[in-house]
A = this chain, B = another copy of it.
Amino acid sequence: MKLTPTMHRCVLHWGEMAGRWGVSRSVAQIHALLFLAPAPLTADEIAETLNVARSNVSVSLKELQAWDLVSVTHQLGDRRDYFQARKDIWEVLTMIMDGRKKREIDPTLQMLRECNADAKKDHETPEQVKERIAVMLEFLEELAGWYDQIRAMPRPTLLKLMRMGTKVAKIVT
**Residue positions of A touching B, CB distance < 8 A:** 4-7, 9-10, 13, 17, 20-22, 35-36, 38, 87, 89-90, 93, 103-104, 107-108, 111, 115, 118-119, 122, 124-126, 128-130, 132-133, 135-136, 139, 142-143, 145-146, 149-150, 152-153, 157, 160-166, 168-172
Contacts and interface: CB of A to CB of B under 8 A. Distances in A.
A133 B128 CA distance: 50
A5 B143 CA distance: 27
A125 B17 contact: no
Main secondary structure of the interface of A (DSSP, over half): helix
A103 B172 contact: no
B89 A6 contact: no
